[in-house]
Amino acid sequence: MKFEKNCYEIRLESIGGLGANLAGKILGETGALYMGLNSSNFASYGSEKRGSPVKSFVRFAEKGHEIRINSPIEKPDILILFHERLAGKAQVMAGADEKTSIIVNSSESNEFLRDRLKIYAGTLYKVDALALAAKNKTRVNMVMLGAAAKASGFIPLDKLCEAVTDTLGKKYPLSVEGNINGIKAGYDNAIPYEIKPDGKYPYIEYEELKQDWGYDNAPIGGINPIFGSTVTNDLTASREGYIPIFNKELCINCGLCSSTCPDMVYQFKEGEYKGKISMVNLGPDYTHCKGCLRCVEVCPTKAITEGNEREYDISKTDIKNISLITDNFKLEDTGQNSWVESVSNTVNSLE
Ligand code: SF4
Ligand code: SF4
């Protein structure tokens, strides 16, 4: 294997829960243990919870070329986006140019994705990893691994399958068949689509993102300046593709969904239920929902069921706290976990 430069570099951009960290580890192991290459892998993420941003970095080098660099990958040969909604000001597309293979988990068209992600240039491999994972009884990350093998042009499918069988087979032997099928599906469905640098979107330089507040300047000894669930915070990039579907007819307003939901998605308002004044469930505000489906599990009347996000146009739901957004808000579209800068806002009513 001859690489054009010292290291062949892969950057995985994802959110917690989709398995990008594991996918990066498996890619690194495939190179070192099954292909006779030198390889390295590390990941960067915040709290280990579903929905937080995750980056994983993999480097390969031929034997004889040591990997001495251990910093984030600025100009990836392959860029893997686990969720199309990672698009935004956050630099998920940084460093991608005409030499980059860009793999995106999406059911949208190539043209739509180019505009959504503002792709300067590259070879786009769109894979509907969610649908393929569901069909093959595996996870999104396995499908993305198969697509990565195809896009690389040098990672043999059989070596990747061997690595996955050995790594996951010991602990989860029953998952192996589905995982291998998922990898093969990703490989077969990754079709290249060339994007030339035609000036439609600019090249984005990689820059280290600095936190506004860190350990040395955060007030009161350290707080998280990025809010979890707020009026404007958009957590939709946190979802793995599933959403809760609310059926008002079956709801008895017990409030269990609300007390279980980690992101306070359910909106209650004083109203009438069975002839009495009580708090009535209006339904979910999907802006904050990360699709964990805990509410589905706890609802005693099956008023909440699991749905495939892509089959619902949730942008049309009117259960939004949109009326609480004032001119004082300055929205930051940072892609995943966007946040808002604002004056303090006291919520008294949903009206
Ligand atoms: S848990 Fe089910 S029944 Fe109870 S308030 Fe929520 S949706 Fe309604
Ligand atoms: S799936 Fe249910 S519990 Fe999970 S974030 Fe969404 S509304 Fe809350």
Are 93 and 142 members of one domain? yes
Question: Containing H/E element for 103?
Answer: strand 101-105
Same domain, yes or no: 47 and 182 = yes
| Three-class secondary structure of residue 45 per DSSP | strand
Same domain flag for 163 and 302: no
Residues 171 and 242 in one domain: no
Can you tell me whether residue 155 is helix, strand or coil?
A: coil
Residue 64, pLDDT score: 86
Q: Say yes or no: 140 and 35 in one domain.
A: yes
Q: Is the CB of 284 under 6 A from ligand 2?
A: yes
Q: Which of 144, 172, 195 is the last residue of a domain?
A: 195
- Record the tokens describing residue 264, joined without a space: 């306070």
Range of the domain at 55: 8-195
Same domain, 145 and 258: no
Q: What is the pLDDT of residue 328?
A: 58
Instruction: Write down the pLDDT at residue 211.
Output: 61
The domain spanning residue 296 has which CATH number?
3.30.70.20
**H runs (alpha helix) in the chain:** 20-29, 110-117, 129-136, 140-152, 157-169, 176-189, 256-260, 294-298
Q: Are residues 243 and 191 in the same domain?
A: no
Burial classification of residue 69, based on how many CB atoms lie within 10 Å of its CB (0-12 exposed, 13-18 middle, 19 or more buried) = middle
Residue 222 lies in a domain: no
Residues 244 and 178 in one domain: no
Let me know whether 41 and 103 are in one domain.
yes
The pLDDT value recorded for residue 334 is 45
The CATH number given to whatever domain includes residue 123 is: 3.40.920.10
Ligand 1 in contact with 281 (CB < 6 A)? yes
Ligand 2 center from residue 201 Cα (angstroms):
36
**Residue 40: Cβ within 10 Å count:** 18
Ligand (nearest to CA of 285): 2
Ligand 2 centroid vs 294 CA: distance in angstroms?
6
Q: For residue 116, give both structure tokens.
A: 């959504």
Question: How much is the pLDDT for 45?
Answer: 72
DSSP state of 118: T
Per-residue model confidence as pLDDT tens for the chain (351 residues)? 677 778 999 999 988 777 889 999 999 999 999 999 999 999 887 655 566 678 899 999 998 898 988 889 999 999 999 988 777 656 789 999 999 999 999 999 999 999 989 999 999 999 999 999 999 999 999 999 999 999 999 999 999 999 999 988 888 888 899 999 999 999 999 999 999 999 999 999 988 766 666 666 666 655 555 555 565 566 666 677 789 999 999 999 999 999 999 888 898 888 899 999 999 998 998 877 888 899 999 999 999 999 988 788 776 666 665 555 556 555 555 444 454 444 444 444 444
- Looking at the domain assignment, is residue 200 inside a domain? no
Task: State the Cα–Cα distance between residues 220 and 301, nearest whole angstrom.
Answer: 44
Query: pLDDT at position 128, please?
Result: 94
- Cβ of 265 less than 6 Å from ligand 1: no
**Residue nearest ligand 1's atom 6 by CA:** 257
The domain boundary, picked from 143, 172, 195, lies at: 195
- Count the alpha carbons within 13 Å of 293 in the hemisphere toward its beta carbon: 13
Q: Is ligand 2 within 6 A of the CB of residue 103?
A: no
Residue 305 lies in a domain: yes
* pLDDT at res. 263: 80
How far apart are the C-alpha atoms of 11 and 330, rounded to whole Å? Answer: 31
Is residue 330 one of the residues assigned to a domain?
A: yes
Is 316 found in the same domain as 188? no
Residue 243 CA, ligand 2 centroid: distance in Å: 7
Q: Is the CB of 261 under 6 A from ligand 2?
A: yes
Q: Which ligand has the minimum distance to the alpha carbon of residue 248? A: 1
Rounded distance from Cα 51 to ligand 2 centre (Å): 12
pLDDT of residue 305: 96
Best of 268, 285, 289, 296 for a ligand 2 pocket test (most atoms within 8 Å of beta carbon)? 289
Write the residue with the smallest CA distance to atom 8 of ligand 1: 251
- State the DSSP string of 221-276: G----S-SS-SS---GGG--SEEEEE-GGG-----HHHHH-TT--EEEEEEEETTE
Are residues 76 and 184 both part of a single domain? Answer: yes
Residue 214 placed within a domain: no
Reduced DSSP (H G I as helix, E B as strand, rest coil) percent helix, strand, coil of the chain, to 5? 30, 20, 45
Q: Which of 229, 259, 295 to mutate to test the pocket of ligand 2 (most atoms within 8 A of CB)?
A: 295
- Report which protein residue has its CA nearest ligand 1's atom 2: 299
Strand 78-81 and strand 38-45: pairing? unpaired
Whether residue 36 lies inside any domain: the answer is: yes
Answer whether 160 contacts ligand 2 (Cβ < 6 A). no
Residue type, 97: D
Q: Among residues 53, 51, 49, 58, which one has the least CA distance to residue 22?
A: 58
Torsion on CA atoms 56, 61, 67, 72, rounded to nearest 10: -30
Quote the ligand 2 centre to 258 CA distance (angstroms). 9
Q: For the whole model, what pTM was predicted?
A: 0.74
Query: Which atom of ligand 2 is the closest one to the Cα of 291?
Result: 1
346 Cα: distance to centroid of ligand 1 (angstroms): 26
172 in any annotated domain:
yes
On whether both 77 and 140 belong to a single domain, the answer is: yes
Q: Are 27 and 41 a contacting pair, CB within 8 Å?
A: yes
Task: Please tell me if the CB atom of residue 256 comes closer than 6 angstroms to any atom of ligand 1.
Answer: yes
In a domain, residue 221? The reply is: no
Residue tagged 């640098």 (tokens): 197
Contact in structure between 323 and 76 (CB atoms under 8 Å): no
Which of 172, 195, 218 is a domain's end point? 195
Q: In the prediction, which pLDDT does 48 show? A: 55
Q: Is 263 in the pocket of ligand 2 (CB under 6 A)?
A: yes
Residue nearest to atom 4 of ligand 1 (CA): 254
Q: Whose CA is nearest to atom 4 of ligand 2?
A: 292
Q: How many domains does the chain have?
A: 2
